[in-house]
Every structure is written in C-alpha cells, then in structure tokens.
Structure 1
Amino acid sequence: MKALFLAGGFGTRLKPITNDLPKPMVPIMGKPLLERNIENLKKHGIDEIVLSTCYKPYKIENHFKDGKKFGVKINYITEDMPLGTAGAIKNAESFFDDTFLVFNADILSDIDISDMIRFHKEKQALATIAVTKVDNPSAYGVIEHDENGFITAFKEKPKPHESNSNLINAGVYIFEPQLLDYIPTGRAVSIERETYPLLLQKGFKIAVYNKCSYWLDLGTPEKYLKAHRDILEGNIHVGEHDFNRSKQYISKSARIHHSVKILGSVYIGENVEISSFAVIGPGTVLCDNSSVGVNAKVIGSVVWDNVHVGDGASVVNSVVMSNCRIDKNKKELNCVLTGSLSHPIAV
C-alpha cells in the first residue's frame, strides 16, 4: 500500500518557526516531524510514499531525496498554487491505482495504521476517516456517524445545540482509488466541504475510525512546546527512548560538568555540553551539538541543534532555533528565538 503526505501548507500560525522551514520539517525531538511519521509508517510495512509539496519544496526534497536513506521509495508532486486537501489528492492521482493512505503532514498521533487498514477492509468503505475527540467542537468541522460506524453528516463549526458529536477529522484517511473520480481537476477543492458531502449524497459508505488516544496538530508555537512536553511525560511515544520507563535520556556523547542539576523529564542529545552549576529541566529538550554555559538555566524549553546558551542566561518555556546564540546573563521567557531576534508567544 502507498501513502500520500500532504506537505504543502504554509504553517502561518506556527511562524516564526516556519519563516524559513516547511511545517512538516519542524523538528520533533531533533528529527523532522515528517521523518518521524515516515519512520512510523515503515513499522506498518508501508515503504512507498508520495510527498505533495508547495511551500519551500526544496527543503523537503533536499532532506529526503529518493528516500533510500530512510528505507522507503519517495516520489514528489508539487503544487504551483495551493489546491486544498482534495485538490492536492487529485493532483497525485497518477500514483494510485489501489487502496491508499493519506496523511496531513503536520499531525502527531498514535493511530495504529495496521489496525486502521484492517478496519477499512472490514467495513468495505470507499473511504475511512480517523477521528479524534475534542472538548469544544464548535471551532472545528464535526463528524456524525451511525451505530455501525458509518458517517451520516459533516457539520462545519456547529453551535452547541446543532450537534451531539465531539469527533473531528484527525487528518488520516484510507481511500479507494474510485474516490478520485469525484474530485474535480485543476482547482482548489475542500475535502470536508465538497468531496465528503458529495460522496454521502451519492450513497457511498464512509467509515469512521475512532481509536486515536493521542492527537495534536502542531499549528502554533504553544502546541509545538506541548508536543514535546507530552513526549517527555510519556503521553505519546516518539523515537527510541521510552519516557514511561525512564524520565531522562542523556546521550553517551554528552559532556556534563560538575554541580549540574538535571530535573524531571529531559532529553539531552549528541555532543551536548552542559557547564558547571547549570540547571536543565524539567520538561527540556537539548538537541545535538548545543551547549549551556556556567550557571545558566534551561527550563520547559526546546533547544534545537548548534545552539549556545551563554553563562548565567536563562531560557524558560521557549523555543530556540538552530544556530542561535543567547548572550551572557540574558533572560528569555515565553518566546521563539530566531537568530538574534526574540518573538513572544502566548502561554
């Protein structure tokens, strides 16, 4: 089975992190989110992938190339203009002649892909949509279904009295290729507002897969920080280390000087150097080749590769992007640091 990743979004709400980086390439525990998701697909035996790109496509292609390095075969298709979810799927039609998977490339979830494929086949549906529960569905398009697990309606941003459902589209789909016949060519098409309602109208079966216990759209800097907190707290498993078993991961190549305090759940990557009397954590990720000066503090933050936190500086509840240098005794709180600029974020 092949998989299509929709990786063309501009990541507007995630700025400034996405000023120069496509949203799927934003690192999660030091590796691009898209790479993490491809690694997960491989575990389920899926090794042929199509990447649909639009915003800074060369950044994605330069990293993944033909996919051989990652143990998969990767093809690319690029949108000249944004085509919407359904339009992007239609644009990749030539790659699919059998059942295929589609993913929004900016989602972090624990969906069991093998189980979802089994479910889709059992239901003999034209499409299966993974869903997730939310507390306040009025900000989303909700999905209603019958007792047999087939979708009956899609309602866009309903008021509390307009729907009993709290299920929303989780951005993971399984489609039969026949579905592509119902998407027009050459224009932007919304799958939620146009394609799915049309399929229901024509009597096709669309199944709802409701076994997702963790789901997060990495849409904002706050959610980006939350994703790392959730990983460190063991709410979702990402990468090799199991934070449910051990709250701290410290690489063998890390150099930690005397009197350093490491508190709570932390991830310390390759060739990280932490100088004397520094405080790291709780809830901190230090990616490869970063360094923390004497008496500095990094708390509740995600620090990318090749960052230096100066002596006496403090970084709290912040994202520090690659190659940043934080001056001696500087205090950074609730911000995204890009080069020499500090951008405040909501908390």
Structure 2
Amino acid sequence: MKALFLAGGLGTRLKPITDDLPKPMVPIMGKPLLERNIENLKKHGVDEIVLSTCYKPHKIEKYFEDGRKLGVKISYISEDVPLGTAGAIKNAQRFFNDTFLVFNADILSDIDISEMIRFHKEKGALATIAVTQVDNPSAYGVIEHDKNGFVTAFKEKPQPHESSSNLINAGVYIFEPQLLDEIPSGRAVSIERETYPLLLQKGFKIAVYNRCSYWLDLGTPEKYLKAHNDILEGNLQIGNHDFNKNLQCISKTAKISHNAKIIGPVYIGDNVEIGSFAVIGPDTALCDDSSVGMGAKVVGSVVWDHVHVGGGASVVNSVVMSNCRVDRNSEEYNTVLTENFSHPIAV
C-alpha cells in the first residue's frame, strides 16, 4: 500500500522554529518528524511514499532524496500555491490506483495503521477517517457518526449546544481511489468543508476509526515541548526509545563528567559532552554533538544538535535550535533560541 504525506504547510504558529525549516522537518528526539512517521509506516508494510510539498520543498527533497536510505521509495509532487487538503490529494492522483493512506505530516499519534486498514476493509467504505477526542471541540471541526461507525455529519467549530460529539479529524485517512474523481482539479479544495459533505450528500460511506489514545498536532512551540515531554514520560513510544522501561536513554558515545547530575527522564544523543557539576533533566533531550559546560543547568528543554550551553548557564522549559551558543552564566526561561535571537514562548 502507498501513502501520501501532506507536507506543504507553512507552520506559521510554530515560528520561529519554522522560519527556515519546513514543519515536517522539525526534529523529534533528534530526527525529523516526517522521518519518524515514515519509520512507523514501514513497520506496517508501507514502502512507497509520496510527499506533497509547498514550503521550502528543496529542504525535504535534499534530506530524503529517493528514500533509499530509509528503505522506502519516495516520490515528490509540489504545489506552487497551497491547494488545501483535498486539492493536494487530487494533485497527487496519478500516483494512486488502489487503496491508499493519507497523513497530515505535522502530527504525532499512536494509531495502529495495520488495524486501521483492516477496519477500513471490513467497513467497505470509500473513506475512513481516524478521529481523536478533545475536551473542547469548539475550536475544531467535529465529526458525528451513527451506531455503526459511519459519519452522519461534519460540523465546523460548533458551540457546545450544537453537537454532542467531541471527535475531531486526526489527519489520518484511508481512501479508495474512486474518491479522487469527486475532487475538482486546478484549485484549492477543503476536504472538511467541501469534499466530505459532498460525499455524504451523494450517499458514499465514510467510516470513523476511533482507536487512537495519543494524538498531538505540533502546531506551536508549547506543543513541541509537550511532545518531547510525553515521549520522555512514556506516553508515546518513538523509534526504539521506551521511557517506561528506561528513564535515562544515553548514547554510548556521550561523555558525561562523573560529578554531573542526570535526573531522568532524559535523552542524551551521540557525542554529547556534559561538564562537571552540570544538571541535566528531568524531561530533557540533548541531541547529537551538543555540549553543556561546567555548572550549567538544562531542565524541561529540547536542545538540538551542535549546540553549546556555556558554563553556569540555565536553560529551562526552552527549545535551543541547531548551532546555537548559550552564553556563560546566562538565563533562558520559556524561550526558543535561534542562532542570533531569543524568542519568548507562552507557558
């Protein structure tokens, strides 16, 4: 089975992290989010990937190339202007002549893809939508369904009295290729506001897959930190890292001073160096080739690769992007640090 990743978003709410980086390339535990999601798909036998890009597509193509290094085949299709979810799917029509998967490329979830495919086939639906529950659905488009698990209505940002559903679109779909014939070409098309209501009107069956216990849209710096916190706390397994069993995931190539203090859960990548009396953790990820000077403190933060945290500095509840230098004895709280600037984030 083939899969389409919708990887063209601008990532506006995730700025400044996405100022020079496409959102799907933002690293999760040291690897791009998109790579993490492709690795997961491989476990379910999906080895042909189509990437629909728009914002800084060259950065995605340069990293993944033809997919050979990940053991998959990757093809690319790019939009000159954003076409919306359905428009981007229609734009990739030539790649799909059988049942296929579609993913928003900016989400983390624990959806069992093999189980979702089986569910889709059993339901005999034209489309199956993975859904997740939220406490307050008024900021989303909600999905209503009948007792047999088929969609009955889509409601955009309903008030509490307007819908009894708290299920929202999780950004993972399984489609039959016939669905593509129902999407107009050559213009932007919203799948939630236009395509799905049209399918219901025509009597097509759309199934609801409601077996997702973890789901997060990496929409903001706060959610980016939350994603790492959830992984470190064992709420979501990524790659081979299982923090339920091991609160400290430390590379064998890391060099840690014997009197540094490591407080789990932490992730410490390859060639990381940690000086004397430094304090690392809890809920902290130090990615490859980063270093922390003597007496520095890094807590509740995500430190990307090739970063140096100067001696005596404090980095708390922050994101430190690649190649940054944190000054000696400085204090960085609730910030995103780029190479030249510090950007406050909400707490």
Could you say which TM-score interval applies, normalised by the shorter chain?
A: over 0.9
* Deviation for aligned residue 1:241: 1.8
The C-alpha deviation readout for 1:225-283, integer Å capped at 9, x for no partner, is: 00000000000000212100011101100000121111120000000000000000000
**1:201 alignment partner in structure 2:** 201
**2:341 alignment partner in structure 1:** 341
What is the TM-score when the length of structure 1 is the normalising length? Answer: 1.00
Query: What are the within-5 Å matches in structure 2 for residues 305-344 of structure 1?
Result: 305-344=305-344
Q: Which amino acid aligns with 2:235?
A: N
Separation in 2 of the partners of 1:140 and 1:113? 24
**1:286 alignment partner in structure 2:** 286
Query: What are the within-5 Å matches in structure 2 for residues 1-347 of structure 1?
Result: 1-347=1-347
Q: Which amino acid aligns with 1:210?
A: N
* Deviation for aligned residue 1:303: 0.1
Q: Secondary structure at the match of 1:51?
A: strand
Separation in 2 of the partners of 1:262 and 1:2? 43
Separation in 1 of the partners of 2:126 and 2:243? 38
* Deviation for aligned residue 1:345: 0.2
* Deviation for aligned residue 1:340: 2.2
Q: Secondary structure at the match of 1:98?
A: coil
Separation in 2 of the partners of 1:283 and 1:233? 7
Q: Which amino acid aligns with 1:11?
A: G
Q: Secondary structure at the match of 1:3?
A: strand
The C-alpha deviation readout for 1:73-124, integer Å capped at 9, x for no partner, is: 0000000000000000000000000000000000000000000000000000
Separation in 2 of the partners of 1:249 and 1:258? 17
The C-alpha deviation readout for 1:33-62, integer Å capped at 9, x for no partner, is: 000000000000000000000000000000
Q: Which amino acid aligns with 1:161?
A: H
The C-alpha deviation readout for 1:172-222, integer Å capped at 9, x for no partner, is: 000000000110000000000000000000000000000000000000000
Gaps of 5+ in 2: none
Separation in 2 of the partners of 1:107 and 1:237? 14
Q: Which amino acid aligns with 2:317?
A: N
Q: Which amino acid aligns with 1:324?
A: C
What is the TM-score when the length of structure 2 is the normalising length? Answer: 1.00
Gaps of 5+ in 1: none
Separation in 2 of the partners of 1:165 and 1:96? 32
Q: Which amino acid aligns with 2:90?
A: K
